[in-house]
Every structure is written in C-alpha cells, then in structure tokens.
Structure 1
Amino acid sequence: MRGTSPGQAAIADIGIRHLRAFLVLAEQLSFTQAAASLYTTQPSLTRSIHRLEEALGARLFHRTTRTVRLSEAGVLLREELKELLPRLESALTPRYDIQTLRIGFSWLFPDELLQDTIVGFERAYGVAVDLVRRDERCAGVDEGAVQLAVLRGRQVARGLRTVRIAQEERVAAVARRSPLALRRSLAWSELAEHPMLINTVSGATQLRDWPEEARPGNVTLCGGFAEWLELIAAGHGIGVVPELALRRNPHPGVRFVPLTGAPPMPLWLARPSTGAHPLALRFMERVVGVRQAA
C-alpha cells in the first residue's frame, strides 16, 4: 500500500471549519468581525488560519497591526471556495430530517427585518421557514419546540446562544379612552406615576428596566400577551412594547404613544447552546452576514 506524503497528510487534517474560517475572514478582512460571525474567539480563528496556511504551504493573508489583506494565493483560494464551500456544506447538511425550520416568537414578529433572509434561506436549503407564536419567555426554543426564536429584552435565559439583530425603540400602550391617548409622546420617567401592567410570561419590558429608585409603585402582573392587551384596553393600566406596535396596531382599543428617554430594547435571535440543528446555525450565520453588510 502506498504511503501518504507529508503534504497529503496535512491537507487531510483540514476540515470545513478551517475553510469557512478562511472564507469569512477573506470577505470581512477583520479578525474581530470574522470571529464574531463564526461564534469563536480571535485566537481560535488565528489558529485555524495558520493551520490552513501550513497545510497549503502558502501565505493567505498579509497582516499588520492595522490591516488584513489577501495574498495572491488567498485571492485564488477565495474565488474557488466561494462556489465550492456552499455546495459542499449544502451536500453535507441533513436536509430531510426536518422539512421546515421553525422560528418562535412571542408577539409581533419583525418580518421587515428578517424577510429577505427567510426568502434567501428557503431557496438555498430547500426548506420552508415556519413562524410560530408561543406566549412563553423563550418562545419554545428552550424546549425544542422550535429551532430558533426571536426574543426581546435585556436578559436572555441560560442555555441559549444569541446574536443581537437590532435595537427597537419603546412605546407606551394606553387605552384609547385614556387622556394619555391624546398625548404625542410620554416620558419614560413619568410612567412611574401611572398604574403599570407587566406581562411576566412573554413581555420584553420588566421592572428591572427601571432603576430601583424610579420603579413604578402601582404594578399589576399578568400571565400572557393577550391578557395584558385586554387589561390595557379596559383601562386597568399602561404598558410598554416595541415601536413595531405603532405600525401593526394589534388591538383597536389600545393606542401606542412614542416614549422619550426610554432605554432601547434589544432584539435577539436565539438557538440552543448545545444540540442546535445545523439549519439553525446556517440561518444565524446568514442573519449575521446581512447585518454586517448593511
């Protein structure tokens, strides 16, 4: 049996992760941004690139303390991999264990933000993306009911890996017959003067969003979005939601008033830290790529 040359052995040790690390870095030309896109650290990314360069016997990047640029060999490899690597990953992706990628959300899915990504993903992987509303804190991703979830708020449950995809402004939700509904805006600081309704199950605004010394004193807790919305419409208090509600207007008895001085509301895409479906990982990578290209 013929032996394996040292060069062949080195190349045999190269995996898809090394090639993907190279391709992401070749497109972004920033170790910081590429490491974030790959959900890894800069030292780990550097080791992957060094390993690939050693296996190929060629320098792929010219690096200084301030710049990263492709070498001639790097340019050639990038052009080859731009076509070959997606095809290889697609061939190795377990397509048929699920026919639908399920994305959970608690309410008001930000389709304007993710629509192009969803359409491109469905075409690339031949699966449908199904949007599932679940009135739960993690929208079902922590229980395996969905593969991904869109979550809002400052704190995300443990056991999830997240990427922040946007920040939303907040608006106040008030009953249409309330005098507050006539206001053009409300100040974040004055909300403490009014009865507050907090959705403890799936609400993105919680008492911890106010400084302890400025928290509302008259608070009613409720157990879901539908109940929260009906209580506001009935005049039992006011609430806080993302500005998306201004455009969607989910209840005829509720008016949404812009807030001034309110802290932005982070919007996350979340998946399980371990055991995430490969298609969920690919979707998150696409979302990160779209954000960085914008």
Structure 2
Amino acid sequence: MPLPDHLCSGVMDVDLRHLRNFLAVAEEGGFTAAARRLHLAQPTLTRSIRTLEEALGVRLFDRTTRRTALTDKGRELRSSLVPLLHRLDTALTGLRKGESLRVGFNWGLPEGLSGTAARFGDETGVAVEFVRSDTPLAGLDTGTVDVALLRAEPLPKGLRGVLLCEDTRVAAVPGHWPLAARSRLGWAELADLPLVVNTVSGVTFPAMWPAGRRPTVGAECRNYDEWLEKVAAGLGVGSAPAAAARRHLHPAVRMIPLDDAPVVRAYLAYPSHGAHPQAARFADEAWRAAEALATKGLTADEQPARGC
C-alpha cells in the first residue's frame, strides 16, 4: 500500500517532513545547527516549525535571541515521536530488502566506485549490481540497467547525470611496431596512422581530428577486449583513458602517454523520467566520493581534475 505524504488526525493534516524538522531542532538545540544538518535554509526551517505549531495549535519551542528551548508540549511530542519515527524508518528500510540498483558499464569502472556501491548498499538496503553491457548506452538503451557509466559528450537527450571523473589519454600501440619504443606521443601524430575504432563503446574516432588530417580506419570492433586484440595484431593504434589502460593491459600492446589529447570524461547517467527511485541518490553519493578522492590532502590551488 502506498505511504501517505502526510499523517491525518481528525481535522489535522501534519506533514511528516515537519515532524522530522521538529526533531532535528529539538535534538540540535537550535535552528542554525538543525538547518545545517537538514541542508535547509534557516528561514525555510523556521516556517516549517511555525506551520507545525499552527497545525497542532500548541507552541513547541520557547524562542529568545539567545536560546531555543522545548516547551512542555514540545517535550511531550518529542518523547512520542522518537520511537514512532524509529519504527517507521525501520519499516521503510525493510521494504528495500531484496531491492537492487543495476549499474551498467562497457569497461573500466573508475577508482572507488565499487567501494561507494558497497557503502550505499549498507546505508540504504539497496544492493548495487554492476552489469557489463556492450551497447552504446551501457544497457540504458535496452532497459537492462538503471544507471550507467558513460564516456560520451554531451549526454544523450533524455538522460541526466553527474560528471564522475575525467582522465588524460594514452596511445595504444602494437608492441612490435618501432613506435612502441617512444616514451611519449603527440595527439596529432596519430592522424598519420591507421586507427582501431570501437564503434559501440569507444572514445576515439577519426572525426576528433581536423578535417583533411584524420586517421584512416584500420579496423573496427564492438568492445574493449576486441579493441585490445586488434591493436595487438598490428591493425592500427588507438587511445584510451590512462587509468582504464593501467587496469586492462595486454602483453602485446604498449600504452604510451599522449600530449595535447582531449580528456576523457565519465558520467553516471540515468533517465530524466521514470528513473529508479535510488538512481539520483547513488549518482550524487558517487560524485561526492569521487570529489573527496580527487581533492584528498590537496589545497584549492593544487586540486586536479577528477581522476578516473
């Protein structure tokens, strides 16, 4: 049965959010700390408490310029609400048991995302399941996943998401080519070489170079593993995010840092309409975790782009 948005008692309609806001003020001992905890503007919280008092017809707090204290009625309400809301939270959390959030990817999950998924499952009761899908939208286009890691810009119409990380590129060069002896390569140099193109989930295409100076297509494939094997066979070169390349090596392919190459951005995306109820929350928590990882121990001037 769907849960109501408010609790009804006789002629009183009391919004559940007002009750949670009341408890926050009571527990924090003031509006400023409670507003910070609830991520609300203080005037919004003040209006919420005033609305609750008017609905109940009692004063819940004695307010002065120096302190905020519960009235007798406020203490009575707090004593009743604490066990009531605890039971409600337990019941709501129980509903999520067995629920899962499917996260699609083509290849190479960014650093830390698995840890974020584990914490998310512990906190919400919703298990995060990673699903590899070799489709352009990593399973969002076929409906097999709820959220997807996409390395595409801009995000396709009908999707929203967060920028999770961005990474530099490396060139993938056949190990038996003389070029594999180089310590660095320039992005423009790749225009003179055949390119192995992953047509489904790749991040490198001839159109990324200026017209009139674009690489020819040496071979095409449909996933990262095939791409590596075709490069290893000497059918051409390619490029990939540096972090992904470090995690997916091939003994016959040399990964070489690229200068002046466009960065690769990775997004966590989900449908703009009809998304899984936990999709936006998971994307936001993954974004916050990526930001913390990228800036850990650095000053504002030293902070780099979010690395993958």
Same fold (TM over 0.5): yes
Which runs of no fewer than 5 residues in structure 1 stay unpaired? 30-44, 59-70
Q: TM-score, normalised by structure 1?
A: 0.70
- C-alpha distance 3-106 of structure 1, shift in aligned 2 (>3 A): closer
Distance apart, 1:143 and its partner CA:
2.2
Residue number in structure 2 paired with 1:212: 211
AA matched with 1:12: D
Would you say 1:102 and 2:105 are equivalent positions? no
Contact 1:135–1:225 (CA<8 Å) still a contact in 2? no
TM norm structure 2? 0.67
1:56 aligned onto 2:30: no
Aligned partner of 2:171 in structure 1 is 172
SS of equivalent to 2:262 = coil
In structure 2, the CA distance between the partners of 1:162 and 1:206, relative to structure 1 (3 Å rule), is: farther
Aligned ranges for residues 190-201 of structure 1 at < 5 Å? 190-201=189-200
CA contact (8 A) 1:142 1:159 kept: no
SS of residue in 2 equivalent to 1:57:
helix
Alignment of 1:284 with 2:288, yes or no, is: no
1:124-154 deviation line (CA, Å, top 9, x unaligned): 1234322221111111023221111111132
Q: In 2, distance between residues paired with 1:145 and 1:23?
A: 43
Describe the superposition over 1:199-224 as per-residue Cα deviations: whole angstroms up to 9, x where unpaired: 11110223343343543245543333
Give the alignment of 1:23-62 within 5 angstroms.
Answer: 26=36, 52-57=45-50
**CA 1:224–1:100: 2 relative to 1, 3 Å:** same
Q: Is the 8 A contact 2:159 2:272 kept in 1?
A: yes
Partner amino acid, structure 2, of 1:137: P
Deviation at 1:285, TM superposition (A): 2.3
Mapped contact 1:134–1:140 kept (Cα < 8 A): yes
1:12 aligned to 2:11?
no
Give SS of 1:288's match.
Answer: helix
Tell me the CA shift for residue 93 of structure 1. Answer: 8.2
Q: Which amino acid aligns with 1:117?
A: T
Q: Which runs of 5+ in 2 are unaligned?
A: 1-8, 23-31, 52-64, 71-77, 79-84, 296-308
| Count of equivalent residues | 249
Residues of 2 paired with 1:149 and 1:23: CA distance?
36
Distance 1:207 1:156 in 2: 20
SS in 1 for 2:112: helix
Pair member with larger Rg? 2
Deviations 1:152-189 (A, max 9, x none): 13233222111001101111111111112111111011
Q: Greater share of helix residues, 1 or 2?
A: 1
Deviation at 1:109, TM superposition (A): 1.7
Counterpart of 1:267? 266
Would you say 1:91 and 2:55 are equivalent positions? no
- CA 1:260–1:90: 2 relative to 1, 3 Å: farther
Q: 1:205 to 1:230 in 2, by over 3 A?
A: same
Change (3 A) 1:179 1:283: same
Tell me, in whole angstroms, the C-alpha distance in 2 between the residues paired with 1:2 and 1:53: 25
Indicate the RMSD between aligned Cα atoms, in angstroms: 3.9
CA distance in 2, matches of 1:281, 1:72: 39
Q: Structure 1 residues 89, 212: CA separation in 2 closer, same or farther (over 3 Å shift)?
A: farther
Moved more, 149-158 or 101-110: 149-158
CA distance in 1, matches of 2:276, 2:121: 15
CA distance in 1, matches of 2:35, 2:261: 37
Letter aligned with residue 173 of structure 2: V
CA distance in 1, matches of 2:91, 2:256: 46
